[in-house]
Amino acid sequence: AEMESELHRAILNNELMLQYQPQFNLNNEELVGMEALVRWNHPVKGMIPPDLFIPLAEESGLINKISEWVCNAACQQVRIWLDKGFRVPRVAVNVSGAELMGGNLLTNFTSAMSTHRIAGSQLEAEITENFMMQDVERAVGLVNELRDLGIVIAVDDFGTGYSSLAYLKTLPIHRLKIDRTFVREIPNNVNDMAITHAIIAMGESLGLEILAEGIETREQQAFLRSKGCSLGQGYLFARPLSAENIEGWLAH
Ligand code: G
Ligand code: G
Ligand code: MN
Ligand code: NA
């Protein structure tokens, strides 16, 4: 409960911040996007990662305020970069399941887009498969509305949830993000290699883009590329960076 009231205060005091992790085309290493990742810059405890406060925020309902803040902050940052003359690739925002089911997801996007004059084509929504599965009908409706705004829809942490592969043909999604737990042990774990290969092949035949997360080595990049995975992110290329440090990437 103490953390809850502190988190409430943190939102009001603007202690949340976004970092951005670049995403690349694995074939030519061109920058194709960035994932916005929230952090809590606590005045005493320092930088608190999202796994330590997002679950709490979801339980307490504060997630709606945080999501609104994240959406607005991401659009505001895109506007700042555009005004500085950068060509800005798409920015991906993580959507909480709680928000998908009970929140004001659509309003968060539309109002941030209109406040900062950002087109939907500048944005991507990352949604975990567990939440898509909770209420598929509702998820289909929401995903369609986001799509109508021009926002790209990615399934985050793909392969780790309770996935029914049936939803892949029901949900109007663009992209699968292969969870980093499948990438971590490449090339030492033949099962993980078989799974990633299968996800890539399936995604490809369904006309979906595939992005592999958590790429840390050249070998992992080469393997994924050789199987036809065209997009990736991970420490090999870049860690999550402050908006200021991202400008170096935007400049070249
Ligand atoms: O950045 P890091 O690797 O610590 O992120 C850990 C987890 O927190 C990831 O699973 C990510 O999806 C989640 N996360 C990061 N930023 C946000 C955000 O803005 N909103 C929500 N709902 N989850 C986030
Ligand atoms: O679940 P989600 O994909 O949103 O999580 C993103 C998280 O993954 C971020 O917290 C980010 O810091 C972390 N991450 C990004 N790249 C790598 C990587 O190459 N290795 C590891 N171990 N974590 C990574
Ligand atoms: Mn994500
Ligand atoms: Na993930």
How far is residue 161's CA from residue 217's CA, in Å, rounded to a whole number?
25
157 lines ligand 2 (CB under 6 A): yes
Ligand 2 centroid, distance to 189 Cα (angstroms) = 20
Question: For the ranges 100-114, 124-138, 159-173, 196-210, which has the lowest average pLDDT?
Answer: 159-173
211 lines ligand 2 (CB under 6 A): no
Instruction: Read off the CATH number of the domain in which 12 is found.
Output: 3.20.20.450
Ligand 1 centroid, distance to 195 Cα (angstroms) = 24
pTM of the model: 0.96
Q: Which atom of ligand 1 is nearest to the CA of 93?
A: 19
Ligand 1 centroid, distance to 111 Cα (angstroms) = 22
How far is residue 164's CA from residue 156's CA, in Å, rounded to a whole number?
15
How far is residue 197's CA from residue 195's CA, in Å, rounded to a whole number?
5
22 lines ligand 2 (CB under 6 A): no
Residue 251 lies inside a defined structural domain of this protein: no
Ligand 2 centroid, distance to 21 Cα (angstroms) = 9
Residue 60 lies inside a defined structural domain of this protein: yes
- pLDDT value at residue 234: 98
Residue 92 lies inside a defined structural domain of this protein: yes
How far is residue 71's CA from residue 36's CA, in Å, rounded to a whole number?
9
How far is residue 202's CA from residue 198's CA, in Å, rounded to a whole number?
6
The total number of structural domains that make up the chain: 1
Q: Whose CA is nearest to atom 10 of ligand 2?
A: 37
Q: Ligand 1 pocket by C-beta < 6 Å: which residues?
A: 37-38, 49-51, 54, 70, 94, 96, 240
How far is residue 53's CA from residue 75's CA, in Å, rounded to a whole number?
22
- pLDDT value at residue 130: 80
For residue range 61-70, what is the model confidence (pLDDT) as tens digits? Answer: 899 999 999 9
Q: What are phi and psi of 46, to 5 degrees?
A: 80, -155
For residue range 77-108, what is the model confidence (pLDDT) as tens digits? Answer: 999 999 999 999 999 999 988 777 777 899 99
Residue 144 lies inside a defined structural domain of this protein: yes
Residue 58: domain span: 2-244
Ligand 1 centroid, distance to 177 Cα (angstroms) = 14
Q: What percent of the chain has pLDDT over 90?
A: 81
129 lines ligand 2 (CB under 6 A): no
Residue 115 lies inside a defined structural domain of this protein: yes
- The DSSP call for residue 173 is -
State the pLDDT confidence band at 168, using cuts at 50, 70 and 90.
Answer: confident
Ordered DSSP codes for 121-188: GGEEEEEEHHHHHHTHHHHHHHHHHHHHTT-EEEEEEETSS---TTHHHHS---EEEE-HHHHTTTTT
Determine the angle formed by the axes of helices 105-116 and 136-148, rounding to 10 degrees.
10
